[in-house]
Amino acid sequence: MMDSVFNYNTHLHVPNFTDHIRHWQDWSAAALAKHPPILQGKSYGNCVVETLDFFSCGRDQAPLLVFIHGGYWKSRERSEFAWVASRFVEQGVSVAVLDYGLAPDYYLEQMYDQVVRAHIWLHDNAEELGIDRRRIITAGHSAGAHLAVMMALTYGQHHRGDLPSALTSAVFATSGVYDLRPLVTLPFLGDLRLDCESAVRNSPILSRPNPEIPIHLSYGTNESEAFVWQTQNLADAWPEYIASLLPLEGRNHFEACDAFKENGSLVQAILRHCSDMANYPSAPLQVNL
């Protein structure tokens, strides 16, 4: 029988997790020096936590990767993930790294609404940012992967009549939790204030996604049994919606996130989704927001 506390508590399963977090912080400092965002801490909503950093690739009509960080919906912040932008801006893809409200101050429903608002803001400001709103791509790791997949449930008209039916052109979700029901009784996740009803409401596996949005799943093969099961279970439940299932060989939960930094299979899959980049003009953009 699966030991749920051990399998879902990534800090227990990866005892040197602080080393990984320190690496992310160091990588982010280097990335900010090399590729500083042209918008830092930009508000995308009315709440103080609703901010993003925008890294421009310097080309007009560029694809945009929206990255949602993990931290079990209760820790981490966008500044620790600036490094995600480096690989992509060098390949002609602009990047937005989001902050969102964290537990216990915010419920999961509020976090999802904030991520939707970020996508709407990016959609509305596409011309000023030099991005192609038809090629906004959403990616996330861990809790961020859950929120990214929740974006695949979003139909834009439900939020505003002039929005497209899909607010993202694809989802790339790495090492997420898609069925939240096993988390309800876990003591280390008490800050989430999950009960059976809210776990059902926030479990994407219990809904059906927008068929216009291809979903790409990935996970580390050295992750806990629970995290591997979460990804494989979603792939089994949504066979008609899952565009690819990518095992990241030899990686634990934190190392799976590192794949966004490397020129490996995950980054290449995202870049393949961004077509016609070579045709974009290389003139620098002037962004005034």
Q: How do 39-43 and 51-55 pair as beta strands?
A: antiparallel
Tokens 């809210």 belong to which residue? 198
Q: How do 242-248 and 215-220 pair as beta strands?
A: parallel
Give pLDDT tens digits for 126-151: 999 999 999 999 999 999 999 999 99
What average pLDDT does this structure show over 274-284?
A: 49
What average pLDDT does this structure show over 160-181?
A: 95
- 209, two tokens: 């996604």
Tokens 């005034």 belong to which residue? 288
Give pLDDT tens digits for 77-104: 999 999 999 999 999 999 999 999 999 9
Query: Does 276 score more than 50 pLDDT?
Result: no
Domain at 4-275, CATH homologous superfamily:
Alpha/Beta hydrolase fold, catalytic domain (3.40.50.1820)
Query: Does 171 score more than 60 pLDDT?
Result: yes
Return the domain boundaries, the chain: 4-275
State how far Cα 157 lies from the chain centre.
22
Three-state DSSP class for residue 223: coil
